[in-house]
């Protein structure tokens, strides 16, 4: 057990829940053993043996009651009922404290994990599957909660009940106690073995369930592709295969579970028979009252559940330990650097790459090799190059989503590692190659880039301004719900170009000092592209911009153009100088000239 002690902090965080919880456990068990005593007194009374009731036994009216046996028995019954009700109420509060505590701990732990996820690096998300991240937040935290809640509660219950019942039993007859307790350890071990299998199986079922949901989710997201390739039947067959495995696993579980209760009942029965047999002998010898045997039978039955729960709790703790280990693995994962520390002043936007090389974690070849260039603040940089030549990678390094393997990247003469990550990204407006829109309104998707603008009027103005710059305002107004239109999973499906422009507006709204467009205008027709570029030129005067594109027309105005080839910087220059030399840029320009001319015909 190494991981579970790390959960102890929750006990200190909620001391009242824990303290009161155990008080209720103790009290409810105390009332639990009072009822069987009354049963003994009642049966002994019927056999003519009178014993004094505790506390109230000396009261005059109680003594008088003993003279009318029927009333006295009803009176004893009423006391038993009263004890049971008190016990029930106490058990209610025991759950209200201990189980509620575990829900609070679960709440904290889930938030902690989620917060952690948001801080971790991109490489972390490449290493771990989404399904795995989700299951740690859902299943594993759930397992840990089972330990913190029911686990702790049953352990406490077991300790107190065993203490009280054992004391009461030994008080009445030590010898009988020994006999009737003999089968209980067997019961515990048997249940441990069975519940271990049950848990193992349930884990398998959980995993299978994760695969099923994963398969279903992927099918639904890819439904267009599946339909257009007419692969419905194949996907259904795959799903059915997974479902069949699920079915088999579940059926096996049901079979084991079906064994569970008969085993418990069998062993309880064994203890009960032993009690009655051995107790009966004592009663015949006259050394014990029949009431005592009845009392014992009740005790034995009271003990069985806690003892049965030992095995269950033991396997539950094992499961929680494994889950907590997995959780800790993530919680102890270090973010690559402290996002707040470092320089957080305002950015001018001068960029310099000094002999920068980079290879992706676990990739063999360098994605960027010895890249060296610089750009003054306020200038425009164009980047062209074949697909896979490293253009997007260069941006990832600039935004410090990855650190360069070799060389330095400077912004305003400062290494990006000296900048505070927060300040760096706040002042940088990146429109990624594959923009992601959240399942939310268009308004909120754009406003996401506004950071912490709190004035709603101001925010509305800024969102519309940004949308106009991105040439998407009119389109949005044309939607039935305007800016309140839902996009993403639950809303309208936007065209590729519309998505790109919303992402563009999202970057505009942040008023960055350094603009980066990764192939952002690719899905737009040339007219719209020109309009946006014009808007850009006016709005981004004096703002450094980096434009990645496959179209010469998007980059030709730039003061500096990089041509990347296979991770190398093949050429640097302006539109004019690059056209002077044979190579990728000149070829691309000529091809696009011809295509444009053909388009015009
Ligand atoms: N996360 C990654 N892990 C490993 N290799 C990667 C990763 N992302 C990209 N690569 C590889 O790095 C190289 C450069 O990729 P990059 O995305 O920078 O190309 P690009 O120039 O942006 O291409 P495109 O024009 O198609 O967008 C490619 O060979 C690609 O396979
Ligand atoms: Mg790219």
pLDDT in tens, 169-191: 898 888 888 887 777 777 778 77
Name the residues around ion ligand 2, CB cutoff 5 A: 392, 433
For the chain, the average pLDDT equals 86
Instruction: Provide mean pLDDT across the span 565-589.
Output: 90
514-518/351-358 β-pairing: unpaired
d(CA 308, CA 79): 29
Give me the pLDDT at residue 529, please. Answer: 81
What stretches of 182-231 show up as alpha helix (H) in DSSP?
Answer: 184-221, 223-228
Residues 6+ away with beta carbon under 8 Å from 196: 315, 318
Instruction: Provide mean pLDDT across the span 578-598.
Output: 86
Determine the distance separating the centroid of ligand 1 and the alpha carbon of 120, expressed in angstroms. 21
Determine whether the shortest distance from the Cβ of 363 to ligand 1 is under 6 A.
Answer: yes
Give me the pLDDT at residue 490, please. Answer: 62
Does the reported pTM lie above 0.85? Answer: no
Ligand 1 atom with the smallest distance to the CA of 550 is: 25
Determine whether the shortest distance from the Cβ of 408 to ligand 1 is under 6 A.
Answer: no
CB atoms within 10 A of CB 446: 28
d(CA 426, CA 428): 6
Domain segments of the chain as ranges: 101-331, 345-427+513-532+545-601, 434-511
Ligand 1 atom with the smallest distance to the CA of 362 is: 4
Task: Give the full edge-to-edge strand order of the sheet including 560-565.
Answer: 428-431, 514-518, 544-548, 380-385, 560-565, 568-573
Residues 6+ away with beta carbon under 8 Å from 170: 177
The yes-or-no verdict on residue 519 having pLDDT over 70 is yes
The yes-or-no verdict on residue 497 having pLDDT over 90 is no
Determine whether the shortest distance from the Cβ of 385 to ligand 1 is under 6 A.
Answer: yes
Residue nearest to atom 31 of ligand 1 (CA): 388
The yes-or-no verdict on residue 491 having pLDDT over 70 is no
% of the chain at pLDDT higher than 90: 28
Q: Hey, which of 121-130, 468-477, 591-600 has the most confident mean pLDDT?
A: 468-477
In the CATH scheme, what is the homologous superfamily, with its name and number, of domain 101-331? ABC transporter type 1, transmembrane domain (1.20.1560.10)
Task: Identify the CA nearest to 90 among candidates 138, 22, 39, 34.
Answer: 22
Q: Hey, which of 97-106, 363-372, 512-521 has the most confident mean pLDDT?
A: 97-106
Helix (H) or strand (E) holding 101: helix 69-119
* Residue whose token pair is 């990624």: 432
Give me the pLDDT at residue 66, please. Answer: 76
* Residue whose token pair is 């990006």: 416
Same fold, 101-331 and 434-511: no
Instruction: Provide mean pLDDT across the span 111-129.
Output: 84
- Hey, CA dihedral for 287, 289, 290, 291, is it positive or negative? negative
> In the 8-state DSSP scheme, what is residue 505?
H
Task: Judge contact between 187 and 264, C-beta under 8 A.
Answer: yes
Which of these CATH numbers, 3.40.50.1860, 3.30.70.100, 3.30.1490.20, 3.40.50.300, describes 434-511?
Answer: 3.40.50.300
Determine the distance separating the centroid of ligand 2 and the alpha carbon of 387, expressed in angstroms. 7
Residue nearest to atom 2 of ligand 1 (CA): 360
Mutate which of 121, 123, 391 for ligand 1 pocket (most atoms within 8 A of beta carbon): 391
The yes-or-no verdict on residue 434 having pLDDT over 80 is yes
Residues 6+ away with beta carbon under 8 Å from 449: 429, 466, 505, 506, 507, 508, 509, 510
Determine the distance separating the centroid of ligand 1 and the alpha carbon of 11, expressed in angstroms. 48
- Hey, CA dihedral for 72, 77, 79, 82, is it positive or negative? negative
- Residue 117 CA: distances (Å) to CA of 107, 112, 122, 391, 440: 16, 9, 10, 27, 21
Report helix, strand or coil for 239.
helix
Residue 40: both structure tokens together = 């003994």
pLDDT digits (tens, 9 = 90+) for 214-271: 788 788 888 889 999 999 899 999 899 989 988 988 898 888 878 777 877 887 788 8
Residue 352: both structure tokens together = 């310099």
Q: Environment class of residue 235 by beta-carbon count within 10 Å: exposed (0-12), middle (13-18) or buried (19+)?
A: middle
The yes-or-no verdict on residue 601 having pLDDT over 70 is no
Q: How many CA atoms lie within 13 A of 443 on its CB side?
A: 12
Residue 66: both structure tokens together = 């003993």
Residues 6+ away with beta carbon under 8 Å from 313: 150, 151, 154, 155, 158
* Confidence bin at 11 (pLDDT 50/70/90): very high
Report helix, strand or coil for 351.
strand
Q: Lowest mean pLDDT of 148-162, 171-185, 379-393, 468-482, name the range.
A: 171-185
Instruction: Provide mean pLDDT across the span 574-583.
Output: 90
Q: Lowest mean pLDDT of 75-89, 94-108, 393-407, 526-540, name the range.
A: 526-540
Give me the pLDDT at residue 162, please. Answer: 87
**Domain 345-427+513-532+545-601 in CATH 3.40.50.300:** yes
Ligand 1 atom with the smallest distance to the CA of 567 is: 14
Backbone angles phi, psi at 578, to 5 degrees: -70, -30
Residue 55: both structure tokens together = 């506390």
Determine whether the shortest distance from the Cβ of 258 to ligand 1 is under 6 A.
Answer: no
């Amino acid at each position: 057990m190494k991981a579970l002690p790390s959960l102890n902090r929750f006990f200190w965080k909620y001391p009242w829940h824990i303290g009161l919880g155990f008080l209720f456990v103790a009290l409810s068990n105390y009332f639990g053993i009072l009822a069987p005593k009354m049963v003994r007194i009642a049966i002994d009374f019927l056999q003519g043996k009178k014993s004094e009731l505790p506390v109230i036994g000396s009261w005059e009216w109680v003594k008088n009651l003993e003279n009318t046996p029927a009333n006295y028995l009803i009176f004893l019954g009423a006391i038993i009922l009263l004890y049971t009700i008190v016990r029930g109420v106490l058990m209610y509060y025991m759950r209200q404290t201990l189980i509620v505590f575990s829900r609070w701990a679960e709440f904290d732990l889930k938030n902690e994990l989620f917060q952690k996820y948001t801080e971790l690096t991109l490489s972390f998300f490449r290493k771990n599957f989404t399904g795995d991240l989700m299951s740690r937040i859902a299943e594993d935290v759930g397992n840990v909660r089972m330990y913190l809640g029911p686990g702790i509660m049953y352990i406490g219950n077991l300790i107190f009940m065993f203490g009280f019942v054992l004391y009461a039993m030994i008080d009445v007859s030590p010898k009988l106690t020994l006999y009737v307790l003999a089968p209980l350890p067997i019961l515990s071990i048997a249940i441990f073995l069975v519940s271990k299998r049950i848990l193992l199986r349930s884990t398998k079922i959980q995993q299978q369930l994760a695969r099923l949901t994963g398969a279903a989710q992927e099918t639904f997201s890819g439904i267009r592709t599946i339909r257009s390739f007419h692969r419905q039947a194949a996907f259904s067959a795959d799903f059915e295969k997974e479902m069949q495995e699920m079915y088999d696993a579940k059926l096996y579980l049901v079979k084991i579970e079906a064994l569970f209760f008969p085993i418990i009942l069998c062993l309880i029965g064994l203890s009960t028979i032993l009690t009655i047999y051995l107790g009966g002998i004592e009663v015949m010898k006259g050394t014990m009252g029949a009431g005592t045997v009845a009392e014992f039978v009740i005790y034995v039955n009271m003990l069985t559940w806690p003892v049965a729960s030992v095995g269950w709790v033991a396997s539950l703790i094992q499961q929680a330990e494994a889950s907590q280990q997995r959780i800790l693995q993530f919680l102890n994962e270090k973010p690559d650097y402290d996002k707040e520390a470092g320089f957080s002043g305002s950015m001018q936007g001068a960029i310099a790459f000094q002999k920068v090389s980079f290879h992706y974690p676990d990739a063999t070849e360098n994605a960027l090799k010895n890249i060296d260039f610089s750009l003054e603040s306020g200038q425009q940089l164009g980047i062209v190059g074949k697909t896979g030549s490293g253009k997007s990678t260069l941006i990832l390094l600039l935004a410090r989503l990855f650190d360069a393997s070799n060389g330095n990247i400077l912004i305003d003469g400062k290494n990006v590692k000296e900048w505070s990550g927060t300040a760096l990204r706040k002042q940088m407006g990146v429109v990624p190659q594959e923009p992601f829109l959240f399942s939310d309104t268009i308004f909120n998707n754009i406003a996401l880039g506004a950071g912490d603008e709190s004035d709603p009027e101001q925010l509305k103005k800024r969102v519309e301004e940004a949308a106009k710059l991105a040439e998407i305002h009119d389109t949005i107004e044309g939607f039935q719900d305007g800016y309140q239109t839902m996009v993403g999973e639950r809303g309208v499906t936007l065209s590729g170009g519309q998505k790109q422009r919303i992402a563009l507006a999202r970057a505009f709204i942040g008023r960055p000092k350094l603009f980066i467009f990764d192939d952002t205008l690719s899905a737009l027709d040339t007219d719209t592209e020109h309009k946006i570029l014009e808007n850009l030129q006016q709005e981004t005067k004096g703002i450094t911009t980096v434009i990645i594109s496959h179209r010469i027309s998007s980059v030709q105005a730039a003061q500096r153009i990089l041509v990347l080839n296979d991770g190398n910087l093949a050429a640097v220059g302006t539109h004019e100088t690059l056209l002077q030399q044979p190579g990728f840029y000149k070829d691309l320009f000529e091809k696009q000239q011809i295509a444009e001319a053909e388009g015009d015909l």
